[in-house]
Amino acid sequence: MRSFRGFAIGLLAAAAALAAVPVFAADGQTLLITGEDYTKWLWGNQHTDGSVYNFTTVPGEGYGDNGQGTEIDLYLFSKPARNVEVQGRLQSRFNQNQWTNYGGFGGRNPALENPPGGDCIGGDCGEFDPRSNEYIKMRGLTARYTPGFKFLDAVTIGSTDLGMFDAFTIGKIRYIDRDNAKAVLAQGSLFGRKLGYDLIRVSLPRLFAGPNFSTGNYTGQDSDYGLQLKFAPTPLFDSVLVWERARDLEVDTFDRNFDNGRDVADRFKNDVYGLRFGIHPGAKVDFRGTYYHSEAQSDPRFGAPASFFGISGFSPVPAGKLDDPAWKANVDLNDPFGVGLSFNLEYFNIGAQYVSILAARREDDVLLTEGHDSTWVFPGPDNSAFGVFPGNPTRIGYGGWQGNAQQVATISVDNEFTDFEEPMAETVIGWKGFTVDPTWSIGDLSLTAEYSKIDYNTNWQAWGDPTRAILDSIYPNHESDAGIGSFRNAYAPFQDKSTDIYLIKGKYLLNVAKGVDVFGKIKYIDETDKRMNNARFLPYKPGDCPGGGAACHNNVNTYFNGFSTADLYGNPPVITVNGVTGYQWKPFDSLSDDDEDMNYKMFQLGGGYQFTGNFYSSLTYEHYDVDLKDGNTAFQAYQLHNMASGKHSKNKAMLYARYTFGGAEFGMNYEYNWGTFDPDFGGGFVTQFADADTAHNFGVPVGSPGFRGRFGGWNSLLNRDFKQNRMKVFMKIRF
Amino acid sequence: MSKRICNKGIMMAAAGLLLAGAALAQSGVSFKDPAGDDNGPGNYTYPTDGVYKRGSFDMTGFDVKVSGKKVDLGVTFAAALEDPWRMGGGFSVQMVFIFIDNKPGGFKEGPPGTNVTFADGNEWDKMVILSPQPPGRVKTEVEQKMPAAQQSAVVIPNRTKGSGHTISATVDLDELGGGDPSQWGYQVIVQSNEGFPEGKDLLTRKVNEYEGQHRFGGGTDTDCDPHVMDILAGKGAGSADEVQAQHDMLKYECNPDGTAKQPAVLKMVKK
């Protein structure tokens, strides 16, 4: 038995101590019930109605840009004794509860379907699926004890969003709701309150908190323990020691002696040690430092993957034995010259193998940099999931999300069940570099600038381990690093990447009428990635494809022990189209075939006005101009994605309005996206033309030019025009 | 020659305008508050959630500037402002009450949820609320939770914004009753924006005996303690002795049943 006992015993002891605390029912104990009616209307010209959320990648859940839905959220709170309080919520969810479901009656019953009728989408299962029958769940039920001991301030038992820890270890969590995590938390202090502590045991979410987004078959004992020791001896200095220990246990199938019970073994284990500190010499200067070291290990004997399919693995954690640090240092100079000019400086270094399985997945921002913009979501120009194959329609759509991304220190990034106006998170695993961020406030004008230089700990060849086959990586690749953006990809087989971010943004209160908010931003990103940079890794011997209509010889070039990137970048067949004979795609015979060079410009201008105390509205225009070289047809965006090499021009017009009426709040966000993509996939291949099937499957005209890649996917060579309208209106009434 | 005279004239006129502008900008009054006194009566602690960053409730300055018929109010904090709850105004966790004493008499009771009173001769006549909530929401809360007599003395700016370290708003001088703001008495209460306040509280965050994820600690679980993290004190010069002056003003005593035996009593600060 190798489960962790020490802290469990400690927590049990604390719970036992609580039992001894005399509690007295408070006079006039009341049960407070408040609530919220949250109603949402979605409209968009993609005309999908799989659920009342714009985006999810979770199979079978459904997503949509059209529909209406209503949630009720009842907050319950009571204080049965002076040192005991209980709170909880009863809440329904949007899910597939469209108004058109008429209360969730009828519908097809998937349990009786033979053959199975597939996923319930858009509420078509009515009362037979909890996502469409307006069910109400218990949420956020928490008991809090404040026993009055010197060494123990409070014990919290039940639901929590884990917001009291930190984003690098046990981060604030949300999966649709904010408090699905269940935990026992003890908080208090020692040595005359000089040393504070938070000690927690969280039950590991079986939904995602383990290799392959799973915690295996035996889950009841899976846990994450966390400890924070907070030491602040003087106002000039404070520090926090952090420790985290996650264990995903399985029944040990090698223990065949059942007479003495069963042994358990680690399917996945994860330990993180950290230190945060601050030095505060005065109001003008502030120093903060953060260091974490993580160790993680997956055991394939108990169901964890040993490796991932090289260019499309999905997991919140790499495979195998991992260890790496993550650290950053911040200096804040607050108006050192007395003219309203302040500086924030940050150095950051997030290890490629840094893992905390419960690190914040969204709605946190671990770095100072603005990072990438949320409108570029997936590799393809139209934000398709896997756009070179039919049957993978666009989800969030061409417009992506609004604003810039938030940065999180995990590849388990979660943007599920969001709408287009919500913040998007991107991973920073592997990032290292610095940010300089001056801010200048003078009167009604405030200006902020940024320069960030980002290098990568994931700059490597052959996944950083040339002793393995190229498709045998420990790293999950998610949607890959192709295209302009990819929010949860941290790893690529070949990377030699550098990113520079420059921006300046400002706000000005124009003294007209009641004051007009004027705001704007200019942003520039210069990014290069040479990807494969050593001829040793070229897939075939030099001159393997002689051209002139001659077939390639397929003389594989091996980089180690018979391994070759020919497994990834196979040679093209010779084809003849309209009398032209040549290769179906360009042979991968040059180190420049996969090079990325991105020249990214963004411009924003907007204005807002508070018409009355109850009504505010703003109008924003954004223009994106991206000149991207992202490999050619030899690279093919790893075969799975729409190629994005070429010129992109995207525009966003956003109208926002907010109206309060008594206890009700109404909001409206309308967005019109339009733009063009002018592909440039290079030469060296024979252009094909779409037949009727291709035209049908990929939405291109019959006879339009393109090329068919290694896996049969189609990349169109047509200039493309995009238009996406969408709107979200909501009403919230607190009662 | 005449060109040189003309140039000099233009330069002098420009200098005059600049001086006049500077003089206009200087009209008003400024106060400083010591750093590190964001602990109410001396022992209050921040909530444990990560959004409440060190110094978020530590007021370091309060400025009143008069520009014609407008009054600019700015409250500066030790920590840079952030908007983690996407309120839209550049800040989320703070809320500020600015009390003005510009005529005899006034109100002794602080707004609901703060649990403070004002000393005799220090009653407030106007109260400006700097909240990240939409003005309409604040107005509704005021109408629902403040005594009718006080409601007309509450000023809710049309726009409140946070930028850098400063929360600021502009209000009409007439709304504050006219006169010379540099001669008025002021008190500033730093509280926290609570979107889901308890029954009678005016968008304020509770102080409990022990800090919670979204509750301040160091007080009591009842309402006899002031729910206030930082205030102006002494002469508003930012001197070290103003820390003790703040703690003295925010001293309180509770009855066994949790009601206030001696509530915190605030005084106005005046230049």
pLDDT in tens, A155-180: 999 999 999 999 999 999 887 777 88
What does the pLDDT look like over A173-221, one tens digit per residue? Answer: 887 777 889 999 999 999 888 899 999 999 999 999 999 999 999 999 9
Q: Cα–Cα–Cα angle for A488, A490, A496, nearest 5°?
A: 140
B53: distance to nearest CA of chain A, Å?
12
Size of interface A-B (CB pairs under 8 A): 104
Q: Give the list of residues 6+ apart from residue A138 with CB closer than 8 angstroms, or none.
A: A88, A89, A90
B181: distance to nearest CA of chain A, Å?
19
How does DSSP assign B108-129, residue by residue? -BPPTTT-EEE-TT--BSEEEE
CA distance A596 to A528: 5
- B156 Cβ under 8 Å from any chain A Cβ: yes
Residues on chain B touching A32 (C-beta within 8 angstroms): 198-199
Q: Give the list of residues 6+ apart from residue B141 with CB closer than 8 angstroms, or none.
A: B133, B197, B202, B203
Average pLDDT over residues A217-241: 95
Dihedral through CA A82, CA A84, CA A89, CA A90, nearest 10? -100
| Sign, Cα dihedral of B123, B126, B132, B133 | positive
What does the pLDDT look like over A673-723, one tens digit per residue? Answer: 999 999 999 999 999 999 999 999 888 999 999 999 999 999 999 999 999
> Out of A34, A515, A658, whose CB is closest to B158?
A515
> Out of A153, A154, A662, whose CB is closest to B140?
A662
B76: distance to nearest CA of chain A, Å?
12
Helix (H) or strand (E) holding A577: strand A574-577
> Out of A165, A172, A283, whose CB is closest to B60?
A283
Contact check, Cβ <8 Å, A615/B136: yes
B70: distance to nearest CA of chain A, Å?
11
CA distance A433 to A439: 20
Contact check, Cβ <8 Å, B78/A659: no
pLDDT for position A63: 93
pLDDT for position A21: 42
CA distance A410 to A357: 8
A505: distance to nearest CA of chain B, Å?
12
> Out of A166, A283, A665, whose CB is closest to B50?
A166
- B104 Cβ under 8 Å from any chain A Cβ: no
Residues on chain B touching A166 (C-beta within 8 angstroms): 50
Q: Estimate the share of chain B in helix, then strand, then coil, as percent rounded to the nearest 5.
A: 20, 30, 50
What does the pLDDT look like over A435-445, one tens digit per residue? Answer: 999 999 887 88
Average pLDDT over residues A481-488: 92
Contact check, Cβ <8 Å, B135/A610: yes
- B200 Cβ under 8 Å from any chain A Cβ: no
| Length of chain A as a residue count | 735
How does DSSP assign A32-77, residue by residue? EEEEEEEEEEEEETT--BSSSSSB--STTS--BS-EEEEEEEEEEE
Pairing of strands A195-203, A181-190: antiparallel
CA distance B38 to B59: 7
Residues on chain B touching A167 (C-beta within 8 angstroms): 50
How does DSSP assign B164-177, residue by residue? TTEEEEEEETGGGT
Average pLDDT over residues A460-480: 95
- B235 Cβ under 8 Å from any chain A Cβ: no
For residue A300, give the 3-state DSSP assignment: helix
Residues on chain B touching A172 (C-beta within 8 angstroms): 49-50
A441: distance to nearest CA of chain B, Å?
7
A733: distance to nearest CA of chain B, Å?
11
The answer to whether the CB of A140 falls within 8 A of the CB of A89 is yes
B136: distance to nearest CA of chain A, Å?
4
pLDDT for position A28: 58
For residue B15, give the 3-state DSSP assignment: helix
Neighbours of A643 (CB within 10 A): 31
Please tell me whether the peptide bond between A115 and the residue prior to it is cis, using omega within 30 degrees of 0.
yes
How does DSSP assign A324-361, residue by residue? EEEEEEEEEE-STTSSSEEEEEEEEEE-TT---TTS--
CA distance A176 to A61: 12
Radius of gyration of chain A (CA): 28
- B163 Cβ under 8 Å from any chain A Cβ: yes
> Out of B165, B196, B217, whose CB is closest to A334?
B165
β-sheet bridge partners, residue A733: A37, A664
Residues on chain A touching B164 (C-beta within 8 angstroms): 340, 342, 439, 441, 446
Average pLDDT over residues A238-256: 96
Give which of A731, A654, A730, A724 is closest to A44, Cα–Cα.
A724
Contact check, Cβ <8 Å, B78/A614: no
pLDDT for position B34: 95
Residues on chain B touching A446 (C-beta within 8 angstroms): 163-164
Contact check, Cβ <8 Å, A342/B165: yes
Give which of A317, A505, A308, A324 is closest to A431, Cα–Cα.
A324
Residues on chain A touching B211 (C-beta within 8 angstroms): 153
Residue A383 phi/psi, 5-degree rounding, is: 60, 30
Place A283 in a pLDDT band, splitting at 50, 70 and 90. confident
The domains of chain B, with CATH numbers, are 28-266 (2.60.40.1190)
B121: distance to nearest CA of chain A, Å?
33
Average pLDDT over residues A245-269: 95
Query: In one letter, which amino acid is A251?
Result: V
β-sheet bridge partners, residue A590: none
Residue A83 tokens read as: 């040192």
Dihedral through CA B199, CA B205, CA B206, CA B211, nearest 10? 140
pLDDT for position B25: 46
The answer to whether the CB of A485 falls within 8 A of the CB of A527 is no
CA distance A134 to A136: 7
Enumerate residues 16 to 35 of chain B having a beta carbon within 8 A of any beta carbon in chain A. 35
The answer to whether the CB of A411 falls within 8 A of the CB of A490 is yes
- B170 Cβ under 8 Å from any chain A Cβ: yes
B119: distance to nearest CA of chain A, Å?
31
Contact check, Cβ <8 Å, B136/A612: yes
Residue A133 tokens read as: 């029958």
Least confident of A7-16, A493-502, B165-174: A7-16
CA distance A232 to A276: 12
Per-residue pLDDT of chain B (271 residues; tens, 9 = 90+): 444 444 445 444 444 444 444 444 448 999 999 999 999 999 999 999 999 999 999 999 999 999 899 999 999 999 999 999 989 889 999 999 999 999 999 999 999 999 999 999 999 999 999 999 999 999 999 999 999 999 999 999 988 999 889 999 999 999 999 999 999 999 999 999 999 898 889 999 999 999 999 999 999 999 999 999 999 999 999 999 999 999 999 999 999 999 999 999 999 999 8
β-sheet bridge partners, residue A67: A42
Q: Which residue in B129, B137, B202 has the most chain A C-beta atoms within 10 A of its own C-beta, making it the best mutation to test that interface? A: B137
pLDDT for position A311: 86
Q: Cα–Cα–Cα angle for A436, A439, A440, nearest 5°?
A: 145
Residue of B nearest to A146 (CA): B210
Give which of A691, A687, A693, A696 is closest to A718, Cα–Cα.
A687
B271: distance to nearest CA of chain A, Å?
22
Residue A425 Cα distances to A163, A361, A403, A489, B263, angstroms: 17, 7, 11, 12, 46
Residues on chain A touching B137 (C-beta within 8 angstroms): 660, 665
Residues on chain B touching A199 (C-beta within 8 angstroms): none
Q: What is the 3-state secondary structure (H, E, C) of A523-545?
A: EEEEEEECCCCCHHHCCECCCCC
Contact check, Cβ <8 Å, A446/B213: no
Residues on chain A touching B208 (C-beta within 8 angstroms): 146
Residues on chain B touching A509 (C-beta within 8 angstroms): 159, 161, 170
Residue of A nearest to B163 (CA): A446
Q: Give the list of residues 6+ apart from residue A559 with CB closer than 8 angstroms, or none.
A: A462, A466, A536, A537, A565
N-terminal to C-terminal alpha carbon distance within chain B: 50
> Out of A235, A610, A660, whose CB is closest to B36?
A235
Residue B240, Cβ density class (10 Å: 0-12 exposed, 13-18 middle, ≥19 buried): exposed
CA distance A598 to A483: 9
Contact check, Cβ <8 Å, A613/B136: yes
Residue B246 phi/psi, 5-degree rounding, is: -65, -50
Residue A208 Cα distances to A51, A144, A173, A214, angstroms: 21, 27, 12, 5
Residues on chain B touching A616 (C-beta within 8 angstroms): 88, 134
The answer to whether the CB of A137 falls within 8 A of the CB of A66 is no
CA distance A487 to A413: 8
> Out of B86, B164, B221, whose CB is closest to A446?
B164
CA distance A263 to A270: 20
Residue of B nearest to A155 (CA): B212
Residue A328 tokens read as: 């950053």
What does the pLDDT look like over A339-380, one tens digit per residue? Answer: 889 999 999 999 999 999 999 999 899 999 999 999 999 888
CA distance A11 to A228: 15
CA distance A254 to A563: 34
The answer to whether the CB of A536 falls within 8 A of the CB of A563 is no
CA distance B168 to B162: 6
pLDDT for position A390: 83
CA distance A223 to B161: 43
Contact check, Cβ <8 Å, A163/B50: yes
> Out of A238, A441, A613, whose CB is closest to B135?
A613
pLDDT for position B27: 80
CA distance A40 to A47: 16
A337: distance to nearest CA of chain B, Å?
15
Average pLDDT over residues A498-524: 93
> Out of A423, A507, A614, whose CB is closest to B163?
A507
Q: Give the list of residues 6+ apart from residue A628 with CB closer than 8 angstroms, or none.
A: A483, A484, A596, A597, A598, A599, A600, A644, A645, A646, A647, A648
Contact check, Cβ <8 Å, B136/A278: no
